[in-house]
Amino acid sequence: MSLYLTVEVRHDPVHMTSPPYKMLMNWCSTNSIPLVTGWMMYVHNEPQVRAVLTVIDLDEQGEWVRDGDGVPVTHEVTYMCASLPPLQGFVSRGSSTLV
Protein backbone atom coordinates (compact mmCIF):
# COMPACT_ATOMS: atom_id res chain seq x y z
CA MET A 1 0.00 0.00 0.00
CA SER A 2 1.28 3.42 -0.79
CA LEU A 3 0.79 7.13 -0.73
CA TYR A 4 -1.77 7.93 -3.44
CA LEU A 5 -2.24 11.70 -3.18
CA THR A 6 -0.55 14.59 -1.39
CA VAL A 7 -2.43 17.90 -1.19
CA GLU A 8 -1.18 21.28 -0.02
CA VAL A 9 -4.57 22.71 0.95
CA ARG A 10 -5.48 25.98 -0.75
CA HIS A 11 -7.09 28.74 1.31
CA ASP A 12 -7.56 31.44 -1.35
CA PRO A 13 -11.01 31.01 -2.95
CA VAL A 14 -9.55 32.05 -6.32
CA HIS A 15 -7.41 28.88 -6.30
CA MET A 16 -10.33 26.62 -5.40
CA THR A 17 -12.15 27.08 -8.70
CA SER A 18 -10.18 24.73 -10.95
CA PRO A 19 -12.11 21.62 -12.04
CA PRO A 20 -9.59 19.19 -10.45
CA TYR A 21 -9.69 21.04 -7.12
CA LYS A 22 -13.50 21.13 -7.22
CA MET A 23 -13.48 17.35 -7.78
CA LEU A 24 -11.18 16.97 -4.78
CA MET A 25 -13.43 19.15 -2.60
CA ASN A 26 -16.47 17.09 -3.65
CA TRP A 27 -14.65 13.86 -2.75
CA CYS A 28 -13.70 15.34 0.63
CA SER A 29 -17.29 16.42 1.24
CA THR A 30 -18.55 12.92 0.39
CA ASN A 31 -16.10 11.48 2.93
CA SER A 32 -16.81 14.14 5.61
CA ILE A 33 -13.29 15.59 5.40
CA PRO A 34 -13.26 19.33 6.20
CA LEU A 35 -10.50 20.08 3.69
CA VAL A 36 -10.57 23.87 4.19
CA THR A 37 -9.52 23.42 7.86
CA GLY A 38 -6.32 21.67 6.84
CA TRP A 39 -2.77 22.53 5.87
CA MET A 40 -1.80 19.24 4.19
CA MET A 41 -3.65 16.04 3.30
CA TYR A 42 -2.18 12.63 2.55
CA VAL A 43 -4.35 9.89 1.02
CA HIS A 44 -3.08 6.32 1.31
CA ASN A 45 -4.12 3.54 -1.09
CA GLU A 46 -4.83 0.80 1.45
CA PRO A 47 -7.58 -1.85 1.69
CA GLN A 48 -9.50 0.78 3.65
CA VAL A 49 -8.58 4.11 2.01
CA ARG A 50 -7.08 6.39 4.65
CA ALA A 51 -6.78 10.18 4.48
CA VAL A 52 -4.67 12.06 7.03
CA LEU A 53 -5.44 15.77 7.30
CA THR A 54 -3.08 18.08 9.16
CA VAL A 55 -5.58 20.50 10.72
CA ILE A 56 -4.54 24.07 11.48
CA ASP A 57 -4.82 25.01 15.16
CA LEU A 58 -6.83 28.17 15.85
CA ASP A 59 -6.60 30.66 18.72
CA GLU A 60 -9.56 32.05 20.70
CA GLN A 61 -10.30 34.59 17.92
CA GLY A 62 -10.32 31.90 15.21
CA GLU A 63 -6.95 32.98 13.79
CA TRP A 64 -4.23 30.52 12.80
CA VAL A 65 -1.72 29.69 15.53
CA ARG A 66 1.83 30.02 14.15
CA ASP A 67 5.17 28.85 15.48
CA GLY A 68 8.23 31.09 15.87
CA ASP A 69 9.00 30.76 12.12
CA GLY A 70 5.47 31.75 11.08
CA VAL A 71 4.44 28.22 10.08
CA PRO A 72 0.90 27.19 11.09
CA VAL A 73 0.75 24.84 14.10
CA THR A 74 -1.20 21.70 13.21
CA HIS A 75 -2.41 18.36 14.49
CA GLU A 76 -3.39 15.26 12.49
CA VAL A 77 -6.87 13.78 12.04
CA THR A 78 -7.36 10.47 10.21
CA TYR A 79 -10.43 9.69 8.07
CA MET A 80 -11.38 6.30 6.64
CA CYS A 81 -12.81 6.77 3.14
CA ALA A 82 -15.18 4.85 0.89
CA SER A 83 -13.03 5.27 -2.24
CA LEU A 84 -9.89 6.83 -3.64
CA PRO A 85 -10.11 10.48 -4.74
CA PRO A 86 -10.51 11.29 -8.46
CA LEU A 87 -6.95 12.72 -8.49
CA GLN A 88 -3.59 11.11 -7.94
CA GLY A 89 -0.15 12.58 -7.40
CA PHE A 90 0.59 15.97 -5.86
CA VAL A 91 -1.49 19.14 -5.61
CA SER A 92 0.41 22.25 -4.53
CA ARG A 93 -0.95 25.55 -3.30
CA GLY A 94 0.15 27.34 -6.46
CA SER A 95 -0.38 24.70 -9.14
CA SER A 96 -0.44 20.94 -9.43
CA THR A 97 1.41 17.96 -10.83
CA LEU A 98 -1.52 15.58 -11.02
CA VAL A 99 -1.22 12.12 -12.53
- Each residue's pLDDT tens digit, 27-62: 999 999 999 889 999 999 999 999 999 999 999 999
Residue type, 22: K
Judged against a pLDDT cut of 70, whether residue 97 lies above it is answered with: no
Q: How confident is the model at residue 21 (pLDDT cuts 50, 70, 90)?
A: confident
* Domain residue extents for the chain: 2-93
Per-residue pLDDT band for 99 (boundaries 50, 70, 90) equals: very low
**DSSP output for the chain:** -EEEEEEE---SGGGG-SHHHHHHHHHHHHTT--GGGEEEEEEEESSS-EEEEEEEPB-TTSPBPB-TTSPBPEEEEEEE-SS--S--EEE-SS-EEE-
Q: What is the pTM of this model?
A: 0.85
